[in-house]
A and B are shown apart, each in its own frame.
Chain A
Amino acid sequence: MNRGIRKVGGAVTVLLLVLVAQLTYLQIIHADKLDNDPRNLRSVLRDINRARGDIVSTDGEVLARSVASTDGSQFDYQREYPLGGLTAQVVGYQSFVIGNMGIERSYNSALAGRAAELRSLGDVLRGKETTGTVVLALRTAVQRAAADALGDQRGSVVVLDVKTGGIVAMYSNPTYDPQPLAGHNTQAVNDYFTALSNDPAKPNLARAYQEIYPPGSTFKIVTSAVAFDTGTATPQTVYPTTNSLDLPLTTNVLKNFGGATCGGTVFESFVASCNTTFAKVGLDLGDKFPPGLERFGVEGEAPPLDVYPGAVRNTGLEGADFQTDAPQFAFAGIGQGTVATSPLAMAMVAASVANGGVMLEPRAATEIRDQDGAVVQRFGPSPWKTAMTPATAQALNAMMRTVVERGTGTRAQIAGVAVAGKTGTAQNSTGNPHAWFVGFAPAEAPQYAVAVIVENGGTSSGDNATGGVVAAPIGARMLQAALTP
């Protein structure tokens, strides 16, 4: 019988070793995934019960902080958001009920002190709590200017630092107060969240990077750049002067804004925002158009953004084939049809012109500091794509400057500063056209780029509900605020 006993003993040992193998898999190999699963409340509960670093703006204002909890709950800390709705769509919230959002989520390990950079071996051994402070590129003065400029109108403003990709301001209206979401009463948090989600105005939709809109004429920057870089046209190429363009494959025609007659060089058509010219450029580009869109991040991957849940993917021609879908190429040339971009994406387009053609990754955070204020991690400029050649960027810079000097964007002028820009008035399915302005300043040595959208022209109507009338002044205000030290 001994042989049998040894074999059974061996089998039991093997079974127990299988358990060790599975434990190793669960606790070492697969551990991070299980630990970070959003349904696993452990890390959230752990973080909510200990000190957490601040989120501060570049100009030193505290955007999120933890204070001792006084609500008598089981939690020791309460997260506070002093600026409330003004920064909610960037900063986000820490909620053990519905999960974290925004910077609170994407920099959670730094804020909670779990990031490796923050923990020296000595701290670990001494059991010292270390939390990180996340410094944002955001400037509260510019952010406030954005909220003031939009007023009651629905829309978004994004201001980027041309040289670093830093997000100087990113605001959309309406917004929401994140404070109740950080509460400790599960029922109250859920009720508030449900109310936010059911609000038809969608206050918890971060329009600036989570919503896409037809970019309209502001997209002529992209069309021009692709045309110049592919040799399809130059700024001096002359297009017919007309009031409408026959679209291939259909009996439809594409008309100019207000039925106007325009044309001439690409340069002059850009300044006057002539649709027929750029629709024709779109047709001339043909199958060279989609790869060019991808160089601008309009097709393909969504732009990288360090604000959870990240930026929404833009749509371009989406696999349209010139042989069968030619009219879509004409519409894409003027930023209509299947083309839709987020305000952030259009700010990136403007910034890439300002930055000599290199499109940088937009970045909300600039650095992480430890409790003693020492910088432990810095997020430098990081190129994402090469949108166009420096020569093309140079040409577009001149074209955009002329738009503000004497074209559709004259209301974006700032005394003493040369502004470059492009307006847009984008047809859409939700009502009046969206008013757009994208641009940068100073034109000769760009520092800041801006994108503004006022949904459905905002409080203006009729001929006044255009990008040049509604959005361009907001753009000027933003650039001025950003340039004011």
Chain B
Amino acid sequence: MLELVLGLMALGITTFGYVLVQLANSSDIPPDLWLILAGVIGLFVLAHLAVRKFAPEADPTLLPLVAFLTGFGFMLISRLDRDLARVQAVWALVGVLAFVVTLAVVKRIRTLERYRYTFLLLGVLALILPLFPGVGEEINGARLWVRFGPLNFQPGEAAKVLLVIFFAAYLVDKRELLKEGTRRIGRMSLPDPKYLGPLLLAWGASVLIMVRQKDLGSSLLFFAVFTAMLYITTERVSYLLVGLVLFLGGATIAYHLFTHVQERVSTWHNPWPVAQNEGFQLVQSLFAFGSGGFAGSGLGLGNPTTIPNVATDFVFSAVGEELGLIGGVAIIVAVMLMCGSGYRIAVQSERPFSKLFAAGLTTIIGLQTFVIIGGVTRVIPLTGVTLPFVSYGGSSLVANFIIIALLIRISNDNATSTAVAANLEPTGARSDAAPPVRRR
């Protein structure tokens, strides 16, 4: 019930915004308002009912936050480009269906753990698929796309989820080894080289993605998420240090090898001298934020379309311009709340795999948000990834819906096992160091 009420409130906000967008351009209430309203409420209710049916004990905050961000994104896209909005509406439907199917099919999260190598295979396949001639397509200098007939999508988005499943299962398997296998050098304790294999593998994969697909953002994201998961498993800072060294090494090599990396870095360092060419997007984005100020120009009243790719990579700049600091912070807070729920689910979970998996999925959403918003606000060099749920982009939207479905599934598992545990062992103090107890 809480979920339904929160979700409808979130949709109320975005529908109101949708009306404002229309009113900014004409004095009429949009004729398709009822259709849109019915559509978004219908989709949300569908997702809500799926949760009620398949995961009734799940955390009630995730879905309303998703509804808020997705609705917000749809409202913005419809303001920026009507045609893209129509496509995005279809993708939202596909996303919700994927959400429902995921909840229905993945009855228990440990089923996933069992098929770890299948997921690894699928994940790697998804990563390299765009490289095959015939199916792969290069858009905006990055080879991320696969085209099947009229559909094109980014399999990298699916690979994110698939590889996190594998990482979680693999790391849980090897965690005793990884925790113990250290070698002391002075006061530092470093991982034994023979246990660095997985880290090096992940690093190699990220570098490969970067080199072959020129996709800096995803590469950074993969590596950071993997390092975070490795750290959660071992709780050893030394892995973070090794990860950092590897990252800096890879970044340095990439910087020297690729002109587009150098360009991104120098544009980030000082975009003003190249404001009319390489730095155009970033400078326009900064202008959008500056002109937006505290409260923004108002929906439909700014000029966010002066920024190229505003509906995808730069959607947050449009938020900054038209809804100001208030709107931008609202989005960031929504993501923070979502991450908070995700990590809470991870902490509450008893099975190490679920724990690590939930933490990994949540870290993807949090870091991806940081990478893209940090890029458009000049905190870090710009790399093209989507803003979860908000940016235009079907593959990303569907993948993120699946992430939330999986988090909701884990949350429901937690609740039901706690309920069972409460019945069986009332004092049930549990520690994650204890070997996993198999429960019905």
Contact = CB atoms under 8 A, between A and B. Distances in A.
Contact of B432 (A1, A8, A32): A1
A6 B228 CA distance: 11
Contact of B290 (A3, A20, A27): A27
Contacts of A32: 290
B430 to A, nearest CB: 10
A9 B320 contact: no
Interface in A6-47: 6-9, 11-13, 15-16, 18-20, 22-24, 26-28, 30-35, 37, 39-43, 45-46
Interface size on B, as a range, is: 35 or more
Nearest to A44: B303
B64 interface: no
Contact of A26 (B283, B320, B339): B320
A42 B366 contact: no
Given A5-B343, A9-B343, A26-B320, A19 B287 contact: no
A193 B292 CA distance: 31
B370 A16 contact: yes
Interface in B195-251: 228, 231-235
Contacts of A6: 343, 347
Contacts of B359: 1, 4-5, 8-9
B287 A5 contact: no
B286 interface: yes
Interface size on A, as a range, is: 35 or more
- Pick from A5, A20, A30 the residue with the most CB of B within 10 Å: A5
A2 B432 contact: yes
Interface string B359-392: 1001100110110011001110000000000000
B303 A34 contact: no
A8 B347 contact: no
B155 interface: no
Nearest to B355: A1
Interface stretch (B36-44, B140-148, B329-337): B329-337
B300 interface: no
A26 B363 CA distance: 26
Contact of A35 (B232, B291, B335): B291
Contacts of B294: 27-28, 31
Contacts of A28: 293-294, 325
Contacts of B288: 42
Contacts of A19: 332, 369-370, 373-374, 377, 379
- Pick from A22, A30, A45 the residue with the most CB of B within 10 Å: A22
Name the prevailing secondary structure of the B interface residues.
Answer: helix
Interface string B290-322: 111110010000110010000000000000110
A5 B336 CA distance: 15
A440 B130 CA distance: 81
A4 B235 contact: yes
Contacts of A33: 290
B356 interface: yes
- Pick from B275, B336, B356 the residue with the most CB of A within 10 Å: B336
A2 B347 contact: yes
B396 to A, nearest CB: 19
B355 A5 contact: yes
Contact of A12 (B234, B339, B355, B377): B339
B352 interface: yes
Contacts of B50: none
Given A4-B233, A5-B232, A27-B320, A34 B291 contact: yes
A42 B367 contact: no
B99 interface: no
A23 B291 contact: no
B95 interface: no
A30 B303 contact: no
Contact of B377 (A13, A22, A40, A45): A22
Contact of B231 (A4, A15, A41, A43): A4
B378 A22 contact: yes
Contact of A37 (B287, B343, B346): B287
A16 B335 contact: yes
A2 B292 CA distance: 40
Given A1-B233, A5-B346, A20-B332, A40 B290 contact: yes
Nearest to A8: B228
Contacts of B336: 13, 16
A30 B293 CA distance: 9
Contact of A20 (B228, B329, B378): B329
B370 A12 contact: yes
A23 B333 CA distance: 13
Contacts of B232: 1, 4-5, 8
B290 A1 contact: no
Nearest to A41: B306
A12 B287 contact: no
Contacts of B303: 41-42, 45-46
A24 B356 CA distance: 34
A15 B287 contact: no
A26 B377 CA distance: 8
Contacts of B379: 18-19, 22
A175 B279 CA distance: 37
A12 B342 CA distance: 12
Nearest to B342: A9
Contacts of B340: 9, 13
B289 interface: yes
Nearest to B296: A27
Interface in B266-298: 275-276, 283, 286-294, 297
Nearest to B343: A9
B328 interface: yes
B73 interface: no
A9 B276 CA distance: 39
A69 to B, nearest CB: 18
Nearest to A3: B235
Contacts of B283: 39
Contacts of A22: 374, 377-379
Nearest to A23: B328
Contacts of B378: 22
Contacts of B356: 1
Nearest to B235: A4
B191 interface: no
Contact of A23 (B306, B325, B335, B346): B325
B374 A18 contact: yes
A342 to B, nearest CB: 32
B156 interface: no
B136 interface: no
Contact of B320 (A11, A23, A30): A23
Nearest to B367: A12
Contacts of A37: 287, 290
Nearest to B175: A1
B324 interface: yes
A42 B432 contact: no
Contacts of B231: 4, 7-8
17 contacts: A1-B235, A1-B355, A1-B359, A11-B228, A12-B339, A12-B370, A15-B370, A16-B369, A18-B374, A18-B379, A19-B377, A23-B289, A31-B290, A34-B291, A35-B290, A42-B302, A42-B321
Interface of A: 1-9, 11-13, 15-16, 18-20, 22-24, 26-28, 30-35, 37, 39-43, 45-46
Given A23-B320, A41-B303, A42-B302, 7 more contacts: A1-B359, A4-B234, A12-B363, A22-B377, A26-B286, A35-B290, A40-B287
Chain A to chain B: the 9 pairs with minimum beta-carbon distance, closest first? A34-B290, A4-B232, A12-B366, A9-B343, A40-B287, A26-B289, A27-B325, A42-B291, A15-B370
